[in-house]
Copies of this chain bind each other. A is one copy, B any other.
Amino acid sequence: MTQSALAAYLHSHMPLSRAMAVSVVSANAMEVVLEAPLAPNLNMHGTMFGGSIANLALLAAWSVMHLRLEADQFAGQLVVGRSETDYLRPVSGPARALARLDGLDWDGFSRQLNRHGKARLTVTVEVLSDDQIAARLVGTFAAIAGSEAQI
């Protein structure tokens, strides 16, 4: 799935990503960078709603795992099981979420998935604004082979 295909996929399958005006800055099977502008994501203090910041990070983490699983020809679902977000500073402009798979034990995750039809992986995402880290999300996702509807 290319960069523009990922943007179209998110916007058509997840209406909230369209409401947040999420764009795909770059996307491949190792790293995904998503961006969201301030206006549709404002809070009552004139900065970015913490929920929007967390969503952007969650979508980036989901996307990079999705692209890598797609490259591995995995058929099934990828669902979030847990997320922890630290909000470190206010965001007063656009925000970028960077999700990377390097440094993670993808091979172990992949072996587990092939053996048991289910495996979990924890991905850390940084959200940057104005060249500073504004938030950090740690998300644990489960890949489930050929499964039914999940979150």
In the bound complex, residues from chain B placing their C-beta under 8 Å from that of A55 are 49, 51-52, 54-55
Whether A90 touches B150, Cβ cut-off 8 Å, given contacts A51-B55, A80-B50, is yes
On chain A, the number of residues with a Cβ less than 8 Å from chain B's Cβ atoms is 45
Q: Is the CB of B79 within 8 A of A45?
A: yes
Whether A16 touches B40, Cβ cut-off 8 Å, given contacts A87-B79, A89-B151, A90-B150, is yes
Q: Is the CB of B13 within 8 A of A42?
A: yes
Neighbour of A81 across the interface among B40, B86, B151, CB < 8 A: B86
Whether A46 touches B149, Cβ cut-off 8 Å, given contacts A51-B51, A86-B82, A87-B80, is yes
- Whether, in the assembled complex, A103 has its beta carbon less than 8 Å from a beta carbon of chain B, the answer is no
Neighbour of A83 across the interface among B43, B54, B134, CB < 8 A: B54
- Whether, in the assembled complex, A99 has its beta carbon less than 8 Å from a beta carbon of chain B, the answer is no
Whether A83 touches B80, Cβ cut-off 8 Å, given contacts A14-B42, A90-B150, is no
Contact indicator per residue, chain A 31-72, by CB within 8 Å of chain B (1) or not (0)? 000000001111111111111111100110000000000000
A16 to chain B, nearest CB (A): 6
Chain B, Cβ-Cβ closest to A50: B80
Q: Is the CB of B151 within 8 A of A44?
A: no
Contact indicator per residue, chain A 107-136, by CB within 8 Å of chain B (1) or not (0)? 000000000000000000000000000110
A interface with B by C-beta (< 8 Å): 9, 13-16, 19-20, 39-55, 58-59, 77, 79-87, 89-92, 134-135, 149-151
